[in-house]
Structure 1
C-alpha cells in the first residue's frame, strides 16, 4: 500500500475545526463540516454555480405574472451588458448563462417573495439591474418584452437608464463547487 499524498496526511492530522467553531458560534449558526482544498482554491473563482435571492414585498399594485414573464426571458445564455454596471477595463465578455430564474413565495404567507436566480457567474450589479427592470415591469411601467429588447445588443447597443435596485434585499444564498 502506498502512502497517501502529503496533503492528505496533513489533513488527517488537522483539528476538528467544525467542533471548535461550533463551540464559539451562537446556537443558530452551525458549521456542518469542512474539507481540505487545494492551495489554488478560490471561494470566488472556483464556484461552479451561484444562487441569489432578491427579496421583495408583494403588493397588490405589482403584476407578479408580468414579472414572471420578464424573468423567464432572462433564462438561458445571453449578453447581459445592458443589465450590469460596465467595467470595460476588466470585463470583455458579457455573456452569462442563467440556469434557473423564478419568483418564489415565502413558505409562510408573509407577503414576501423573492427572485431565485441560479447561474455560474454574474456581472457587476447584474442581479440588481435585473430586479430593477422586473419591478418596472411589475408596476406596469414596462412590458416583459423589454427584457427581450435589452438582451438584443444589435438592436439596443446602449444601456438604457434604469435605476439600480437596492442592495439590502439581495442575498448570495448558495455556491456550488
Structure 2
C-alpha cells in the first residue's frame, strides 16, 4: 500500500532533500527513510515532491512510501516518527493514497517564497537573506510581469543538468513588502528547474538596486544563457511553501 506523508523541515544543516553518497553530507530523505525503517523494521525509502538544494527549507512538502500491509493507526506512526526525527524535521500527517499516486509526478503546482531582510536580524539568520542595499519593489514587480510572459527558463537553470525540457508554466510571481521593510518573493509553477528560483531572485535584486531596468529580464530570458542572469541568491532565504495535487485523482 502507498502512503503520503506531509513534512516540514529547516534545511540549514542538510545537503538538500536527496540522500547523498557517503561523506558528501546528510540528506533529509535519508534521515526520514531511516527513521521510518526503524519503526517498520525493514528498509524504507521515501520519495519527495521535490529535491530542494542544500540549505533550502520546506514549510510544506509531501513524500510517499510503500508498505506491505495497511498501517492501522497513521496518527500513531506520525507521533513515533516525530519522536525519532531531529528537531528540524517534522511529520505533520500520514494518509493512504492510490498505488499509482506519486509525490513528485502527481503534483500539479509548487510554491516557493524567498525572504529578504533589509536590516540585520539574528532571529531570521537561517530563514532569510540579509541584503543591505536599498531595494525598490516596483521595478521588481514589473520584471515579474515580464517573467510570466515566458515558458522557457534555460537562462535561470543550473548548467549541465540532466533535464529534457526547460519549459515551466508560472502561475504567479510577485514581490510583497512588509511594514518592517522586509521583502518576500512568491512564485508558483507546475515545475521548477534546478537553482531556478535563486537565479531569478539574484537577477531581480540587480533590478531592485537599479543596476538594470526591469525590461532587461526579457533579453536575459530570450538569450537562454545562464551567464546573462544574476548571481544565485543564498539558499537560506528560500522555502518551499506549498505543493498542490488534484486530490480526487490520488486519494483512495
Q: Post-superposition shift, 1:50?
A: 0.6
How many residues get paired? 164
Residue ranges of structure 2 left out of the alignment (5+ in a row):
3-68, 119-131, 246-252
CA 1:41–1:60 in structure 2 vs 1: closer, same or farther (change >3 Å)?
A: same
Q: Post-superposition shift, 1:39?
A: 4.0
TM-score (normalised: structure 1)? 0.76
Aligned runs of 1:1-177 on 2, under 5 Å?
11=70, 13-16=72-75, 17-18=77-78, 20=80, 33-58=93-118, 61-88=134-161, 90-106=162-178, 109-152=179-222, 156-159=223-226, 160=228, 162-177=230-245
Give the Cα–Cα distance (whole angstroms) in 1 for the partners of residues 81 and 224 of structure 2.
50
Give the Cα–Cα distance (whole angstroms) in 2 for the partners of residues 12 and 157 of structure 1.
48
Residue ranges of structure 1 left out of the alignment (5+ in a row):
1-5
Q: Is the 8 A contact 2:74 2:95 kept in 1?
A: no
Q: Is the 8 A contact 1:76 1:99 kept in 2?
A: no
Q: Is the 8 A contact 1:47 1:175 kept in 2?
A: yes
Give the greater-gyration-radius structure (CA). Answer: 1
Q: Post-superposition shift, 1:146?
A: 1.2
SS class of match (1:173): strand
Give the Cα–Cα distance (whole angstroms) in 2 for the partners of residues 11 and 105 of structure 1.
47
Q: Post-superposition shift, 1:100?
A: 0.8
Q: Post-superposition shift, 1:55?
A: 0.6
Partner in structure 1 of residue 14 of structure 2: none
TM-score (normalised: structure 2)? 0.55
SS class of match (2:168): strand
Give the Cα–Cα distance (whole angstroms) in 1 for the partners of residues 237 and 110 of structure 2.
16
Q: Post-superposition shift, 1:51?
A: 0.6
Give the CA RMSD over aligned residues. 3.0
Q: Is the 8 A contact 1:86 1:124 kept in 2?
A: no
